[in-house]
Amino acid sequence: MIDDFAKDCLHEELNDSRAALVWKLDGLCEYDIRRPLTVTGTNLLGLVKHRATGEARYLGEVFGRPFPEPLPRWQDADGSDHWVTAAETREQIVDFYRRACAHADATIRELPLDAPGHVPWWPRPHVKLFGVLVHVLQDTTRHAGHADILREGLDGRTGVLAEQERPADTAARAAHRAVVEQTALAAIGAVPERR
């Protein structure tokens, strides 16, 4: 009974993080979803592609349930699963993610939490579905957080889901940022802290 509850809870949280990650693409032009927004080249559509590959591998092949389509190479030196070529469309990448998630969902539904798996690239390769599900949830949530920060840098939009988003009060945000900046400067003795 507790296993079913735990699996359902983890799966629901994973679905929420998946939705947040994809939502970060909404309303942006092709350039903004693809362009490198960090010194390492992190970009919004590349994060979705990376998570699609991760879902297919961790909740597919690790449990002897290979994804039925060829997968991009993973973790190459060029980071090829973290960025999208000009020939790959937004729709192709989002559809790939949805198919990978559906494949992963079938694994989650059909296997018990103590189902054995094998992750050859981990130091302790013998795993259970529970541990891999926690890992995938953590990684998806982490990348959804990256996407949230990247999106905020592009147009100020923040939040987890579209239906929870509220219009930004740009004046209040600027005032808050100024207080945080002033406090940081005061901490290093650059200016007296004022409140």
Predicted confidence (pLDDT) at residue 100 exceeds the cutoff of 70: yes
Main-chain phi, psi angles of 180, to 5 degrees: -65, -45
SS3 191: coil
Predicted confidence (pLDDT) at residue 144 exceeds the cutoff of 60: yes
Full-prediction pTM beyond 0.85?
yes
Average predicted confidence (pLDDT) for the chain: 91
Kindly provide the residue ranges of all beta strands, DSSP E only, lying in the chain, ordered along the sequence.
116-118, 126-128
Predicted confidence (pLDDT) at residue 76 exceeds the cutoff of 60: no
Structure tokens, 175 = 């005032």
Predicted confidence (pLDDT) at residue 111 exceeds the cutoff of 90: yes
Structure tokens, 3 = 């296993």
* Segment among 10-14, 24-28, 138-142, 170-174 with least mean pLDDT: 170-174
* Segment among 40-44, 69-73, 161-165 with least mean pLDDT: 161-165
Q: What CA–CA distance (Å, rounded) separates 1 from 9?
A: 12
Contact in structure between 194 and 188 (CB atoms under 8 Å): no
For the segment 32-36, the average pLDDT, to the nearest whole number, is: 97
Main-chain phi, psi angles of 70, to 5 degrees: -60, 140
pLDDT category of residue 134 using cuts at 50, 70 and 90: very high
Q: Which of 68, 12, 78 is nearest to 46 (CA)?
A: 78
pLDDT category of residue 29 using cuts at 50, 70 and 90: very high
Q: Which of 58, 47, 137, 59 is nearest to 105 (CA)?
A: 59
For the segment 113-142, the average pLDDT, to the nearest whole number, is: 97
Give the pLDDT score at 79.
Answer: 63
pLDDT single digits (tens) 152-189:
999 988 887 777 777 778 888 889 999 999 989 999 98
Q: What CA–CA distance (Å, rounded) separates 62 from 119?
A: 6
Give the pLDDT score at 158.
Answer: 85
